[in-house]
Structure 1
Amino acid sequence: MKRVFSILVITAVMALSNLTAQANTATLMTANAAVITAVQEDATDEAVADDETESVSFTQELKKRFIEGGPGFMGIVLLCLILGLAIAIERIIYLNLATTNTTKLAQDVEDALNSGGIEAAKEVCRNTRGPVASIYYQGLDRVDEGVEAAEKAVVAYGGVQMGLLEKNVSWVSLFIALAPMLGF
């Protein structure tokens, strides 16, 4: 029930932010029109003063296009926004489903080890969802091979689970790394 509520709250916050953005659009459009007019007048004055064409940097051109806000450029921005929101929502849902009460799991595994042995503890781990239970299971599965084998299995499977948790977010770190180079 908590998860459904949290998903509804996130959806409501995104809807309200969208409504706020739409309400502010008219104000921003008039401000943008004034800025564009001023930029065009400045550009005309500079063009008259200098007959030479000067090269414009990528960030300056990008900022100019963003201020102009043509449908082609803003469509790309909208597509990136939708893609980013979809991946963020998917990650929120996946991470919420991957949560486990680790103290309760550890206690259940310990109780199962004391009462029924390793097979009972494995069964507890199989019936519990989440990456922590899977890592516990890998360690319990290799306990017959020795402590070092169990430790290696836990470390290796922990890396696999981290890869699953970080899936689809590598592009975010790419944009974070590129932002300073683009002048943002």
Structure 2
Amino acid sequence: MGAILEYIIKGGVEIMVPLLLLFLIAIAYTFERFFHLTKAKINTAEFLTKVRHALRNKNVKEAVKICETFKGPIASILKTGLMKYGSPQEEIEKTMENAAMHEIARLERGLPVLSTISNLAPILGFLGTVTGMIASFDALAQLNDPGAVAQGISQALITTAGGLIVSVPALLAYSYFTTRVNSFIREIESASAVLMEAFSQMDREF
């Protein structure tokens, strides 16, 4: 902790403190998104198998109960479709589309923050680099304080490193979570198609 405080002072409180705050925010959102997306993940294959089995038996209520058991965004979206069974196909699809937009927004919550931090942190670090170099050149112009020149260069390097230290993990987290959300979207599209196919088969058999 003492070493971190020392680097904050050397890099300049006006730059390093905002970078530290950005780092803490990125860590908080990373953990929150990880637990949320992990909780939202279900065994999609098992879930769809049970739903199809219930619909083959013409038991829509049982399929709804299965959705309530599994929970998660995919189950929630299919539940909205099941609750509209008997309505025109366009209405069912529109209902599930609206539910999907709501669930995807929940999955993507916080990702813009990580993206912003990954872009903003290097800019703050570069700002510290510029101010550090300005201080170095000012000291160099006086020609009587080599220590001040070294201090300015040190500040420039520390803020650059600080910006990268904050930016890189935030960017990695953003890319990772974006990939996971895209995986959810593909599963939602597949599950919705399976449900509509099951509805069509049920209608043909009546």
- For normalisation by structure 2, the TM-score amounts to 0.52
How far off is 1:74 after superposition? Answer: 1.7
Q: How many residues align?
A: 125
Distance of 2:39 and 2:46 partners within structure 1:
16
How far off is 1:134 after superposition? Answer: 0.5
Q: Match of 2:29? A: 87
1:143–1:149 contact (8 Å) kept in structure 2:
no
Q: Match of 1:74? A: 16
**Greater helix content:** 2
Q: Match of 1:121? A: 63
Q: 1:78 to 1:177 in 2, by over 3 A?
A: closer
Q: Match of 2:108? A: 166
User: 1:1-150 to 2 correspondence within 5 Å?
Assistant: 68-115=10-57, 117-150=59-92
Q: Give % identity.
A: 28
How far off is 1:82 after superposition? Answer: 0.8
Q: Match of 1:38? A: none
Structure having greater relative contact order (Cα 8 Å, sep ≥ 6):
2
Distance of 1:124 and 1:93 partners within structure 2:
23
Q: Secondary structure at the match of 2:49?
A: helix
Backbone CA RMSD of aligned residues = 2.8
Q: Secondary structure at the match of 2:86?
A: helix
Any gaps of 5 or more consecutive residues in structure 1? Answer: 1-21, 33-65
How far off is 1:113 after superposition? Answer: 1.5
CA deviations on 1:96-141 (whole Å, 9 max, x unpaired) are 0000111111001011122351111111111112100001101111
Any gaps of 5 or more consecutive residues in structure 2? Answer: 127-162, 164-206
Amino acid at match of 1:121: A
Distance of 1:137 and 1:94 partners within structure 2:
20
Q: 1:169 to 1:149 in 2, by over 3 A?
A: same
Q: 1:178 to 1:76 in 2, by over 3 A?
A: closer
Q: 1:77 to 1:174 in 2, by over 3 A?
A: closer
